Amino acid sequence: MSSQSAVDHAPTQDELDLLHYESRIDRPVRIKVPELHRDERLRHVIFGGQFSVDMLEDLGATADKIRALSRMRNGQDFLLHLLHHKRAMLYFTQPSTRTFLSFMAACQILGMTCNEVRDPTTSSETKGETRFDSIRMFSSYFDLIIMRSKLPSLAEACAYLMNDLADSGNRSVPIVNAGSGADEHPTQALLDIYTLQRSFQFTDPKDSPISNRYNNLRQNFPNLMKGLAGKVYGFCGDIGRGRTVRSLASLLANYQDVTLIFIAPNDPTLSLHDDLRRRLVNRGVRMVEVESLEEVVEGMPVIEQIDALYMTRIQKEHNGPSDEAHFAELDLSPCKLTRELVARMKSYAPILHPFPRDQRFGEIPTEIDDDPRAMYFRQARNGMWIRAALLASIFGVDHQISRFFHEETKNV
């Protein structure tokens, strides 16, 4: 099995059940991706690596339309009827606030009914039922399963279970991975990309806090181009265990000429792990690894050259028995943002964070929140729109949304 799912204790029933899917899980992503699509459409959402630039642009455009329609009474009514006949199960056995609520809100925008299981002790799993039986049961009652688990490959295995059921003529529903252990969090990466798309628009004064300075920006940064290609992205904090970093880095690797700078303490747990490094190198991504936001790379401190900064917290829930004491000996301050550092950033460079931020650790002090570059609250709201766009795409109603939007706005 992949190193992410390696265990250093007696295997649990879940881990034993996953062994059944081991040979399929261990294949390269490029081989697995076609199995997650049906008729050139998304079926299951499991990895960041499933999305091409075209898909990301389409999803962002659909999210923009849903957002605009939601501001209009008849637009809201139209959206509410689109998936009125569909039901979603939110199966979240790991803590979540934003992902859970924004998926629920996304379902509600499109008229879907939601139900939830968050505490497995209230389900038949306490009577010895396996996760896979639970999932198959959910698929009997619901049309979509959105799941978060601490087990790295569980969502992927559930997608294969659903494919096997479909192949044998049984009922089968799409699986959406809403966070799998320290492994992947593809829908967070979608909202991160959507936030970057909007931040690098530089055109619409309504939507971007910096766009009314567009002319000014042009003078100061004559080579600045719209869009995600050709930009320098900084990822800072717990790079090794941040699943959002893993998913977003693989999506950014789709764009031409990007540079990814990973800023993490010099520690094998917290710094970039080998598997992601190898994947990015294989895809020809320009990559730099440093230990501080102020470290100089090619003659310029990192903080001054990045076009966007992605902060993360230290993922304490993944700590092993000796990690706490060991991390206490490290100097983690070079991976924290301060007002002084923000003052040195480019005037348009958005600051993102998947949230929650860790108040005690203080990777982003609240005094930065009113800086126009602090994008993290907008980013969380973007999650609702892009997840609605994702659901529309999975159920094939995105074209209907486009048609309705163009009808409604053609005379405006």
Residue number, 75 or 350, with CB nearest to ligand NCD: 350
CB of 376 vs ligand NCD, minimal distance in Å: 10
Q: Is residue 312 within 8 Å of 363, Cβ to Cβ? A: yes
- Interacting residue with ligand NCD among 38, 98, 213, 279 (CB under 6 A): 98
DSSP letter string over 187-210? HHHHHHHHHHHHHT----TTT-TT
Comparison of 228 and 248: residue with beta carbon closer to ligand NCD: 248
Q: How far is the CB of 116 from ligand NCD (least distance, A)?
A: 16
Q: How far apart are CA 290 and CA 296, in angstroms?
A: 9
Minimal distance in Å, beta carbon 298 to ligand NCD? 30
Site for ligand NCD contains 188 (CB under 6 A)? yes
- Binding to ligand NCD by residue 99, rule CB under 6 A? yes
Minimum distance from residue 151 beta carbon to ligand NCD (Å): 14
313 sits near ligand NCD (criterion: CB under 6 A): yes
Instruction: Rank residues 352 and 397 by Cβ distance to ligand NCD and give the closer one.
Output: 352
Minimum CB distance to ligand NCD, residue 188 (Å): 5
CB-nearer residue toward ligand NCD: 103 or 404: 103
Give the residue at shortest CB distance from ligand NCD.
354
- The maximal CA–CA distance of the chain, rounded, in angstroms, is 67
Query: Total binding residues for ligand NCD by CB under 6 A?
Result: 11
Rounded distance between C-alpha atoms, residue 156 and residue 20, angstroms? 12
| DSSP codes joined into one string, 52-84 | -HHHHHHHHHHHHHHHHHTTSHHHHHHHHHHTT
Q: Using the rule CB under 6 A, which residue among 67, 243, 246, 373 binds ligand NCD?
A: 243
Cα 159 from Cα 175, distance rounded (Å):
6
> Which residues, 6+ apart, have CB-to-CB distance to 353 below 8 Å?
310, 311, 312, 313, 363, 364, 376, 379
**Residue nearer to ligand NCD on the CB measure, 174 or 179:** 179
| Element spanning 178, H or E | strand 175-180
355 binds ligand NCD (CB under 6 A): yes
Options 51, 354, 388, 405; binder of ligand NCD; rule CB under 6 A: 354
Amino acid at 355: F
Total Cβ atoms within 10 A of residue 144: 23
Based on the shown chain and the rule CB under 6 A, indicate whether residue 92 belongs to the binding site for ligand NCD: no
67 vs 313, beta carbon nearer ligand NCD: 313
Cβ proximity to ligand NCD: between 165 and 276 the closer is 276
State yes or no: residue 185 binds ligand NCD (CB under 6 A). yes
Q: How far is the CB of 95 from ligand NCD (least distance, A)?
A: 8
- Give the torsion sign (CA, 204, 191, 166, 117): negative
Distances in Å between the alpha carbon of 364 and those of 9, 315, 333, 336, 354?
Answer: 35, 15, 11, 7, 12
**Residue 163 makes contact with ligand NCD by CB under 6 A:** no
Residue 240 is a binding residue for ligand NCD (CB under 6 A): no
Residues whose CB falls within 8 Å of the CB of residue 219, separated by 6 or more in sequence, listed in order: none
**Position 347, amino acid:** S
Q: Does 200 engage in binding with ligand NCD (CB under 6 A)?
A: no
* Chain residues that interact with ligand NCD, rule: CB under 6 A: 98-99, 179, 185, 188, 243-244, 312-313, 354-355
